[in-house]
Amino acid sequence: MSKDIKKVGVLGAGTMGHGIAHVSATSGHEVVLYDIKPELTAKGLASITKNLDVGVEKKKVTPEDRTAALGRIKTSSTLNDVAGCDLIIEAVPEKIELKQQLFRELSAIVDEDCVLASNTSSLSLTEIAAAATHPRRVIGMHFFNPVHLMKLLELVRAYQTDDPTLERVRHFGEKIGKQLIVVEDSPGFASTRLGLAVGLEAIRMLEERVASAEDIDRAMELGYGYPMGPLKLGDLVGLDIRLNIAEYLYKELGTPTFRPPQLLKKMVRAGKLGKKSGEGFYRY
Ligand SMILES: NC(=O)c1ccc[n+]([C@@H]2O[C@H](COP(=O)([O-])OP(=O)(O)OC[C@H]3O[C@@H](n4cnc5c(N)ncnc54)[C@H](O)[C@@H]3O)[C@@H](O)[C@H]2O)c1
């Protein structure tokens, strides 16, 4: 019987890391939230507190559970403090060298049966795993933003991942209240690949003047029950990020589906990156 996960280390206290720490703590796990500077972990903890407070206001979280969850989170800017964790989930910037370097360092700090997970949304888990001393315990845990509200958790099996690792993480995923899908390591996994295929086709349709941005989005929102149309979603994610992933998937998969549309390239070059720059397919 493989060991239950009780203590979780989260690396990176940004958008995703603080959310992962949040759901780990509210489901009863001890958490070490690590970032490179104390002010960054403090910011992450402040976001968790704010989200828990909203939960209390909406009566989704009891005041006692809020206090207990916050009591389970320790922050740190010393990597050694994650020693003793049963699972470590990294949510640092999307750079393969950075993730590999962390997994190399962690291999020297944690026990051999500590699971090392990556929240990468597009990089190869097999390549990240290759940097760890025991690559069989490396796996992808792809969460969605905002982590405490989104139901899906996509587990990505690297070429090296063994069955006990997958089972331990599956059990943890269920315990934190997520609905799981399991995919083999392949470019864009299931969610990013399918989401981007629709997103890029919507941009090509806009280029061809098939319909306005609003109407393309409404086709999917009203006709297919998407909570948000593909162009609006692109604006929210950031068009530069959309373009990077399209270039990566086009290189890896070679299908015209992922060839970046000219309009997307032009908008990024013009600094129209979506919501964060004030303008994308819509104005903000
Ligand atoms: N934002 C999303 O919607 C989303 C969704 C799914 C997956 N992801 C993936 O999650 C990961 C993190 O994305 P994010 O949006 O949270 O980024 P972010 O920029 O909000 O946060 C990254 C954090 O990592 C910290 N960091 C940088 N170097 C570090 C190091 N060496 N050790 C520890 N911490 C370090 C930064 O200080 C920052 O706080 C990426 O791999 C991204 O692809 C993001």
Write down the pTM of the prediction: 0.94
Residue 81, ligand 1, Cβ within 6 A: no
Residue 92: what pLDDT?
97
Amino acid (one-letter) located at 102 = L
Element (H, E) at 138: strand 138-142
Q: Are residues 112 and 232 in the same domain?
A: no
Do you find a cis peptide bond into 146, omega within 30 degrees of 0?
A: yes
Residue 120, ligand 1, Cβ within 6 A: yes
Indicate whether 281 belongs to any domain: no
176 neighbors 193 (Cβ within 8 angstroms)? no
Q: Are residues 53 and 131 in the same domain?
A: yes
Residue 250: what pLDDT?
96
Q: Which atom of ligand 1 is nearest to the CA of 94?
A: 41
Residue whose Cα lies nearest atom 34 of ligand 1: it is 12
142 neighbors 189 (Cβ within 8 angstroms)? yes
Measured CA to CA, the distance from residue 217 to residue 227 in angstroms comes to 10
Indicate whether 240 belongs to any domain: yes
Instruction: From 184, 219, 247, give the residue that closes a domain.
Output: 184
pLDDT tens by residue, the chain, 284 residues: 467 899 999 999 999 999 999 999 999 999 999 999 999 999 999 999 999 999 999 999 999 999 999 999 999 999 999 999 999 999 999 899 999 999 999 999 999 999 999 999 989 999 999 999 999 999 999 999 999 999 999 999 999 999 999 999 999 999 999 999 999 999 999 999 999 999 999 999 999 999 999 999 999 999 999 999 999 999 999 999 999 999 999 999 999 999 999 999 999 999 999 999 999 999 99
Residue 153, ligand 1, Cβ within 6 A: no
Residue 122: what pLDDT?
87
Measured CA to CA, the distance from residue 190 to residue 31 in angstroms comes to 29
Which residue range is the domain that position 141 belongs to? 7-184
Residue 17, ligand 1, Cβ within 6 A: yes
Q: Quick one: which of 227, 265, 269, 230 has its CA closest to 246?
A: 265
Ligand 1 centre and the CA of 120: distance in Å? 9
Q: How many CB atoms neighbour CB 234 within 10 A?
A: 30
- Residue the block writes with tokens 């990020």: 241
Amino acid (one-letter) located at 76 = S
Residue 203: what pLDDT?
98
- Give me 29's structure tokens: 């796990």
Q: Are residues 74 and 177 in the same domain?
A: yes
Q: Quick one: which of 138, 189, 143 has its CA closest to 164?
A: 138
- CATH number for the domain spanning 135: value is 3.40.50.720
Residue 238, ligand 1, Cβ within 6 A: no
Work out how many domains the chain is built from and give that number: 2
Residue 2: what pLDDT?
64
Residue 197: what pLDDT?
97
